[in-house]
Amino acid sequence: MYQIEIAGGRRLAGSVPVHGAKNSVLPILAATVLGNGTSVIHGCPNLDDVDSSCEILEYIGCNIKREGSTICVDASTIGKSCIPEEMMHKMRSSITFLGSMTARLGTAEMGTPGGCELGPRPIDLHIQALEKIGVAVKERCGRVETRCDSFVGGEVHFDFPSVGATENIMMAASLARGETVITNPAKEPEICDLQAFLNKMGAKISGAGTDCIVIEGVPVLHGAEHRVIPDRIVAATYLCAGIMTGGTVELTETNPEHIHAVTAVLRDMGASIYTNKHAVLLYAPQRIKPIKLLRTMPYPGFPTDAQAMMTAALTLADGTSMIEENIFENRFRHAAELSKMGADITTRGNVAVIRGVKRLVGAPVTAMELRGGAALVLAGLCAEGISTVSGTSHIDRGYGSLVEDMQSLGAEIRKIGKA
């Protein structure tokens, strides 16, 4: 596996497009299983997790064609109802195949999902929601088995607005008899994108992005054509890179509304930010201002997926900042690696206290998970000297062209070793 080598100290400047959203394309690829026909998905980023989803689709019998950022999925030939354990363990979002496969085939069997090690992420909410619409679920020996002869609409309430569980019940209930009502669902833009795609397939879903989603079941779904939304976490990452390097960065092909919580914090840190319908322009301040308290929350709050990059940015603030992580239990693993670069971070439970330093110093560091890995790359961009980031397989799960995009903005960064 290659490493990323960065010679820090270069001010970023320029314009770069934002690729399609990882957290949107993955459930949409799972949803293609619901249609008896071919779906065409545009804007699919070149990511390891996308490759893993296509691998699952091919294994269960779908025909896949890829050309650039477009993936065609012919689900009319689907024939298998089980997914091997090794495929499931490659990514967390593989669990969204549970709802779509059960709805299409009446049964599904798969191992528990993998992904980044961010603390306990049980699938209880997925199972409880599916049981509300008539699915029988068994868990044994690390595997989940579902069976349903007849989906019947029902009422599903989430005590916590789980993104994956919301997606699973939206897909499964699309083919149920009658109406399904989800209260307190996840409100992320990716939920709205999934609703748009499912409705193009012939589903009848409304309310995504609100406190209540209503699904009127239909007998069959068909293939559809769709373009996924831009990746808001990639956008947040690149904006953090801009403020950390004292740069001027423009993001195109993005949606400023989806990252309002991030740009609001960046403005509080001193950045000047201008937006139009599809672009964001950031001018970095001379010195980053600290943030008294930043809490990660479900959308539309500050996204947990952007927390690591914001932690990295606040290491350079003129004062002390505090971040409270409220989504995952184990999401400060990057703090110890940032400390190797001269950052002053103290973590206790779900809180990190970040005392700003005047400079970071290049060092060899290791990515422990996806977003933490991106944070280390950002730290390397502004550190004095050379930084080397290992564990890049994590980064490849969520960024299709991080090194290339930073190069286009003027960073001195490259991949070394075998890709």
- Kindly list the catalytic residues: 116
What is the C-alpha separation between 413 and 173, in angstroms, rounded? 47
Phi/psi class of residue 68: alpha, beta or left (left: φ > 0; alpha: ψ in -120 to 50)?
left
What is the C-alpha separation between 347 and 335, in angstroms, rounded? 8
Instruction: Give the chain's length.
Output: 419
- DSSP state letters, 297-309: -STTSB-GGGHHH
- DSSP state letters, 398-411: T-SSHHHHHHHTT-
The encoded tokens of residue 98 equal 């549970």
The secondary element (H helix, E strand) that includes residue 375 is: helix 370-382
Burial label, 364 (beta-carbon count in 10 A; 0-12, 13-18, 19+): middle
What is the C-alpha separation between 416 and 226, in angstroms, rounded? 36
Task: Please report, as a single letter, which amino acid is at residue 390.
Answer: S
Task: Please report, as a single letter, which amino acid is at residue 7.
Answer: A
What is the C-alpha separation between 291 and 331, in angstroms, rounded? 19
Helix 232-244 / helix 260-268 crossing angle, nearest 10 deg: 10
Helix 163-173 / helix 97-105 crossing angle, nearest 10 deg: 10
- DSSP state letters, 262-291: HHHHHHHTT-EEEEETTEEEEE--SSPPP-
